[in-house]
Structure 1
Amino acid sequence: MPTVEFRGAEIECEEGQILRDVLLDAGETPHNGLSSRLNCHGMATCGTCAVEVDGAVGDRTAAEERRLSFPPHDPDDGLRLACQTTVRGDVSVTKHGGFWG
């Protein structure tokens, strides 16, 4: 069973779960400030759940590629959308500051 490390918490989940769901189910959030209420609820259109991920995750989806290809994001910055990222093994997740993270 994979473990997601996020803000000092270690969260166990099933392999293949969506990272956003794992965090929300554990009482955590991949959003900062108002973006926790003003977001697309997992549709990969807003980009506010962008996080840095180190570990075993699935490939980027087409929707994720599209959203990360325009500002304020950059497709080469290495961030992932938590709403599109599938957990495949142990991962460490970092949420950066600001509305977009």
Structure 2
Amino acid sequence: MPKVAAQGKIIDCSKGAKLRQVLLQYDIDLHNGQSRWINCRGIGTCGTCAVQIEGAVSEPNWRDTTRRSLPPHSLMQNRRLACQTQVLGDVKVTKFDGFWGHGDNPVWTAEGEGGQCE
């Protein structure tokens, strides 16, 4: 059973589970500032659930790649959309600042709080 490390929590989940659902189920907020109210709810169009992931996850699908290719995201950043990512093994997750999670400063890391949310 894969383990997800995020915001100082270790969460067991089923292999193939969507990362967004796993994190939200354990009260880990994927959205910065007002994006928690106006996000796309997991269909992959807004990009506000972008996170950095270390570990075994699914390959990016077309929604993930398309959204991250548009500003303010960049395919050069090591980010993924949590709503489009399946957990395949143990992972560590970091959330960055910026409305879309595109910033350079961690809001939280796998180990715990890493900064302040906008």
Indicate if the aligned counterparts of 1:20 and 1:29 stay in contact, CA closer than 8 A.
no
| Structure 1: stretches of 5+ with no match in the other structure | none
Q: Which residue of 2 aligns with 1:73?
A: 73
Q: Once the 2 structures are TM-superposed, how far is the Cα of residue 97 of structure 1 from its aligned partner?
A: 1.0
Q: Once the 2 structures are TM-superposed, how far is the Cα of residue 100 of structure 1 from its aligned partner?
A: 1.1
Q: Which residue of 1 aligns with 2:51?
A: 51
Q: Once the 2 structures are TM-superposed, how far is the Cα of residue 66 of structure 1 from its aligned partner?
A: 0.5
When the two chains are superposed, the root-mean-square deviation of aligned CA atoms in Å is 0.7
Please give the alpha-carbon distance, in whole angstroms, between the structure 1 residues aligned to 2:98 and 2:21: 21
Q: Which residue of 1 aligns with 2:8?
A: 8
After TM superposition, the score normalised by the length of structure 1 is: 0.96
Deviations 1:8-37 (A, max 9, x none): 111111000000000011111211121111
Task: Give 1:1-101 correspondences, 5 Å limit.
Answer: 1-101=1-101
SS for the counterpart of 2:85 is coil
| Structure 2: stretches of 5+ with no match in the other structure | 102-118
My pick for the range that moved more, 27-36 or 44-53, is 27-36
Please give the alpha-carbon distance, in whole angstroms, between the structure 2 residues aligned to 1:19 and 1:30: 10
More relative contact order in 1 or in 2 (CA 8 Å, sep 6+)? Answer: 1
Q: Would you identify which runs of 4 or more consecutive aligned residues in structure 1 move more than 2 Å?
A: none
Q: Aligned residue pairs: how many? A: 101
Please give the alpha-carbon distance, in whole angstroms, between the structure 1 residues aligned to 2:70 and 2:98: 17
Please give the alpha-carbon distance, in whole angstroms, between the structure 1 residues aligned to 2:83 and 2:61: 10
Please give the alpha-carbon distance, in whole angstroms, between the structure 2 residues aligned to 1:10 and 1:48: 23
After TM superposition, the score normalised by the length of structure 2 is: 0.83
